[in-house]
């Protein structure tokens, strides 16, 4: 939404421009340009010289590629292979240079500001866009920073939608958030957590009473409610709304509500019955957290539990569960809820190739084509989660996977965003980022949520803009967009901002 520029903002801009003029004025010559400020002339420049013309070998082969100028299809740029893909008589090396619409000598393909000449390619704020294309402010004589959007009136501010430490988010088919999960809390022997759900334009926050939901749950003989009474806090690390039913995944439990969060029941308790990682204490879990075991206050016995990291539904309403020690799927979750002891409706796939892996995130493509982001790369399942095979990035910890169109997949790791064509190809680095925790998109806009804020691209990842702005927390756990707004789930709440 365009807004008229308030008087105080207009005054601020005039003051900023006046400061630039003062800072860069120099005697007779008036003010310097921003590029001259960024690259000041030396105080005692070397006297200009006119080198003697080279009449030797270099005159016959001035680019030094071993091919005489008279036979070289690109005499000014070294190209020993003389490649000429378009057969226009001009070598590819010269074609690349000629494809330089701003004339700064940097080919458009690698120019961080292809519409404005910036031979130095300076990018002071490291946002992938050159200073010449940024709206710049000069603080001191040589330091560039983008002007705040609120000052220039070119962007709306982020608006808080839901308060709280948001850990997870579910969206509708348009990309609009419909439910978010909060971090948990503990007070004595009472453990609670919260979710927030939307009804139209209004959000309501509901408490999830974990112990209260255990009343009708048929515990195995080795587990009783007392063991849970000294458990640590429950973060809602996964939330999914399917029809009128809401599912919540947390430490050790998958729960559900059929009355918009007014009351809760347990779907299952996920614990490690055999000795293994975390059986007697703590193990690493999703979202770079640590998962603690359940300790009995009377006997000191410790039971290791799994944290539910993500919930997804594929075609046929098959439920797929991502956890910190593998995956599981259920072809009839409603039947399982109605009768947890029904073997025909039990969870399956616990012994798959992903057993023991931290599965951070799931992406569901048309049919039963599934992708999982894990602590050992991206994995793919063609059969709804029954079996898995490594898809790539095996040496990376992949926090998130996403496919905006079913044709291209994206994966976020601890230090970069990667992409790969679904049909074939290999994973390629799109751009370096700090801890990519979420990827989303709508239309031509692609977004990433990182530990340093929100970034967006409108050209399939070729160039990026830092969209963090005045977002109160850069600790972004999930992102989405619905064509009108961008949403960011953070440690200080769920926020939205108008798309531009």
Name all domains of the chain by residue range, CATH numbers in brackets: 159-498 (2.130.10.10)
Predicted confidence at residue 120, as pLDDT, reads 86
Q: How does pLDDT run across 297-352, given as a tens digit for each residue?
A: 455 556 667 788 899 988 767 888 888 888 888 888 888 888 877 888 888 886 67
Rounded to an integer, what distance in angstroms lies between the CA atom of residue 139 and that of residue 37? Answer: 11
Q: Rounded to two decimals, what is the model's pTM?
A: 0.66
Mean pLDDT across 281-298: 66
Q: How does pLDDT run across 254-263, given as a tens digit for each residue?
A: 889 999 888 8
Q: What is the dihedral of CA 418, 422, 424, 430, to 10 degrees?
A: -20
Rounded to an integer, what distance in angstroms lies between the CA atom of residue 160 and that of residue 497? Answer: 9
- Retrieve residue 293's tokens: 């075991």
DSSP string, 190-212: EEEEEEEEEETTEEEEEEEETGG
Rounded to an integer, what distance in angstroms lies between the CA atom of residue 222 and that of residue 236? Answer: 25
Q: What φ, ψ does residue 332 adopt, rounded to 5°? A: -150, 75
- Retrieve residue 87's tokens: 């057969």
Task: Identify whether the C-beta of residue 444 lies closer than 8 Å to the C-beta of residue 414.
Answer: no
Give the confidence band of 416 by pLDDT, cuts at 50, 70, 90.
very high
């Amino acid at each position: 939404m365009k807004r008229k520029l308030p008087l105080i903002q207009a005054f601020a801009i005039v003051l900023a421009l006046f400061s630039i003029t003062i800072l860069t004025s120099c005697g007779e010559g008036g003010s310097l340009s921003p590029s001259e400020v960024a690259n000041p002339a030396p105080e005692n420049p070397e006297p200009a010289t006119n080198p003697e013309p080279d009449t030797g070998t270099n005159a016959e082969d001035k680019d030094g590629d071993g091919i005489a100028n008279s036979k070289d299809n690109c005499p000014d740029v070294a190209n020993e292979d003389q490649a000429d893909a378009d057969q226009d008589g001009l070598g590819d090396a010269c074609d690349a240079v000629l494809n330089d619409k701003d004339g700064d000598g940097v080919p458009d393909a690698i120019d961080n500001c292809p519409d404005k000449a910036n031979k130095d390619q300076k990018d002071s704020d490291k946002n992938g866009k050159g200073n010449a294309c940024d709206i710049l402010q000069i603080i001191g004589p040589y330091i560039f920073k983008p002007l705040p959007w609120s000052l220039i009136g070119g962007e709306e501010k982020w608006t808080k939608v839901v308060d709280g430490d948001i850990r997870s988010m579910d969206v509708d088919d348009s990309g609009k958030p419909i439910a978010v999960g909060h971090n948990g809390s503990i007070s004595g022997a009472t453990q609670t957590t919260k979710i927030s759900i939307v009804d139209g334009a209004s959000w309501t926050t509901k408490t999830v009473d974990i112990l209260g939901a255990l009343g009708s749950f048929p515990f195995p003989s080795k587990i009783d409610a007392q063991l849970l009474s000294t458990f640590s806090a429950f973060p809602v690390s996964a939330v999914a709304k399917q029809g009128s039913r809401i599912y919540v995944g947390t430490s050790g439990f998958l729960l559900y509500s059929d009355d918009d969060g007014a009351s809760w029941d347990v779907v299952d308790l996920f614990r490690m019955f055999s000795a293994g990682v975390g059986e007697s204490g703590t193990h690493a879990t999703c979202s770079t957290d640590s998962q603690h075991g359940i300790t009995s206050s009377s006997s000191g016995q410790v039971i290791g539990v799994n944290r539910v990291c993500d919930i997804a539904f594929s075609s046929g309403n098959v439920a797929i569960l991502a956890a910190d020690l593998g995956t599981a799927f259920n072809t009839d979750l409603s039947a399982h809820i109605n009768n947890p002891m029904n073997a025909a409706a039990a969870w399956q796939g616990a012994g798959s190739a992903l057993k023991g892996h931290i599965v951070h995130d799931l992406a569901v493509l048309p049919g039963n084509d599934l992708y999982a982001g894990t602590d050992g790369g991206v994995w793919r399942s063609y059969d709804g989660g029954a079996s898995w095979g490594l898809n790539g990035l095996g040496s990376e910890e992949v926090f998130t996977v996403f496919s905006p169109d079913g044709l291209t997949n994206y994966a976020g790791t601890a230090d970069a965003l990667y992409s790969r064509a679904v049909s074939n190809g290999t994973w390629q680095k799109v751009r370096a980022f700090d801890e990519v925790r979420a990827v989303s998109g709508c239309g031509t806009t692609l977004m990433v949520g990182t530990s340093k804020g929100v970034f967006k691209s409108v050209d399939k990842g070729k160039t990026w803009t830092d969209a963090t702005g005045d977002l109160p927390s850069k600790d972004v756990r999930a992102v989405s967009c619905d064509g009108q707004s961008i949403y960011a789930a953070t440690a200080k709440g769920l926020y939205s901002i108008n798309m531009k």
